[in-house]
Amino acid sequence: MKETKEIQQQEETVQIVIFKLGEEEFGVNILQVREIEKLDQGITRVPKAPHFVEGIINLRGEIIPIVDLRRRFGLTLPEIGYNSRVIIVEVGDALVGMLVDAVVEVLRVPVSAVEPAPAITKGVDAYFLAGVAKIDTRLIVLLNLERTLSSEEAKELNEAELG
C-alpha cells in the first residue's frame, strides 16, 4: 500500500498557465511563458499585419507583436477589458504576446489528465491544440503554441517591426 502512495506522489505533472477567452478556459505550458503583463500601455497598430495581429507593444525596450487569440481562432471579439492580459510566450526563437481576456491561475496538472484534443473543441480547430486537460469537472484546452503562431510567422512579425 505504501508503494502505491509513493508511485502516485511521483506521477509526472506539468504546470499550465490557465487563461480565459470568453467563458472558456485555455492553457499553455508555463515553460513557454516568459511573463504576463497588464495592458497599461496602448497597443500600436501595424499596417498590413495579418488579421489576427492586434499590433505591437514596447516592453522594456523590446518590440513584441501581439496576437489576438480570439481573432486567430475565429471567435467573437469583445472589447479589451480591465482583466485583459498579454501573455508573453516563446515561439521558436521569437517572443510573441497573446492577448487574452483574463489569466485565471497557474495549475499543476498530472500528465495522465491530458488527452488528445477532439477535432473541434470549444469552437477552436484541433490544429491549434495540444490536448485537453480534465481536472475535476473542468476541461482546459491546451494550446500548441508552435501552431497557434508558427516560428516562421513570429520571426516575420518581429522582423517587420524592426525593419
More confident residue, 42 or 86: 86
* pLDDT-derived band at 123, boundaries 50, 70, 90: low
User: What pLDDT sits at residue 34?
Assistant: 95
Share of the chain above pLDDT 90, in %: 34
Task: Spell out the domains of the chain, with CATH numbers in brackets.
Answer: 12-137+150-162 (2.40.50.180)
Closest CA to 140 of 85, 103, 86, 95: 103
> Is pLDDT of 93 > 90?
no
Look at the pTM and tell me if it is higher than 0.85. no
Closest CA to 19 of 29, 10, 9, 11: 29
Please give the grid coordinates belonging to residue 105: 491561475
Helical residues (DSSP H) of 14-91, grouped into ranges: 69-73
User: What pLDDT sits at residue 120?
Assistant: 59
Query: In Å, how far from its chain's centre is CA 131?
Result: 13
Closest CA to 94 of 46, 36, 32: 32
